[in-house]
Structure 1
Amino acid sequence: MADNIHPAAIEHLPVFIAAPGQTDWLFNVVVVFLLAMVLIVGNFYFKLHALPEHMAHRGKKVQMEIVAVLALISLFTHNHIFWIAGLLLAMIDLPDFSTPMVSIAQSLEKLSGRDKLGEDKAIVSLPEPEPKSETAGGVSEHV
């Protein structure tokens, strides 16, 4: 019965048309291809989306955290301006303000006599001036 072809059908059928009761191999190939392409394109999208974060890893911690937050905001809101801002921030090398400020603070702590724990060190007082010499009569001599 599988050999009977409908009278309106042409004699030569294309290779992708399956006979009744047979497996449609073209459908199976297309399903596997689409699943693979969705995974590949999704992986590419997430790699591209994480590009600013990867670039910011060479920078400072605060800069990396700001770029990561901007990337997450752009991922969830679909506002691409956040991603562009994160990419630009990752490309810019921000100057280091914290290291000189910490050094200044440590120097001021040393000068004030306090250590890092906030305990006061004994401050060395200046030596007191010597008393003026007295004369034989017990009266000090003033000039």
Structure 2
Amino acid sequence: MTDQMHPLAPNHLPFFIPGPDGSDTLMLVMGIFLVATVLWVGTLYWKLHSLPERMAHRTHKMQFEIVAVLGLISLFTHMHIFWIAGLLLAMIDLPDFTTPLRSIAGSVERIADAAPEGPNLEPPEAETKPVAHPVARAVAKEEASGHA
């Protein structure tokens, strides 16, 4: 055998043909590209999947925990309806009923002077007479204390 090349053979091989040493450059490049693409698509999937949770967190929604749980359920069951429900909950402002009700309760307590002081819920004897006017209330307190 001689080391001479065939007269019809080209002087160099294209890059996509493996060399005589067994190194395949195209396969190495495509392997790196495949790993990078899988990581990129996985990151994109995670970001898209956590979109409702991030939306609810950014706007400080009351239903943030519900949206987060719906996202987890969607992730583990692969049922997209939970993701859609979480997205809708993240976009909707639920009305806040507790703040006005607490304000009403506080106002009613102040109006009625019904702040509980301890286990005895009945008012003291001196304050059992209803007094309408603040000046009359001051006079009634002085009479009750004996400084008339």
| Percent identity of equivalent pairs | 56
| 1:116-136 per-position Cα deviation (integer Å, ceiling 9, x unaligned) | 988859552217xxxxxxxxx
How far did 1:44 drift? 0.6
How far did 1:107 drift? 2.9
Partner of 1:99: 99
* Structure with more of its chain in helix, by fraction: 2
Calculate the TM-score normalised by the size of structure 2. Answer: 0.68
- What is the rounded CA distance, in whole Å, between the counterparts of 1:67 and 1:54 in structure 2? 9
Query: Which deviates more from structure 2 when the two are superposed, residues 72-81 or residues 105-114?
Result: 105-114
Q: Which runs of 5+ in 2 are unaligned?
A: 131-148
Calculate the TM-score normalised by the size of structure 1. Answer: 0.70
- What is the rounded CA distance, in whole Å, between the counterparts of 1:25 and 1:35 in structure 2? 16
Q: Does 1:65 align with 2:65?
A: yes
Distance of aligned partners of 1:117 and 1:83 in 2 relative to their CA distance in 1, 3 Å threshold: farther
Question: In the alignment, residue 60 of structure 1 is paired with which amino acid?
Answer: K
* Contact in 2 for aligned 1:74/1:82 (Cα 8 Å): yes
Q: Does 1:38 align with 2:41?
A: no
Tell me which structure has the larger Cα radius of gyration. Answer: 1
Q: Which runs of 5+ in 1 are unaligned?
A: 128-143
Give the match's secondary structure for 1:38: helix
Across the aligned residues of Structure 1 and Structure 2, the Cα RMSD in angstroms comes to 3.2
Question: In the alignment, residue 42 of structure 1 is paired with which amino acid?
Answer: G
Count residues in correspondence. Answer: 123
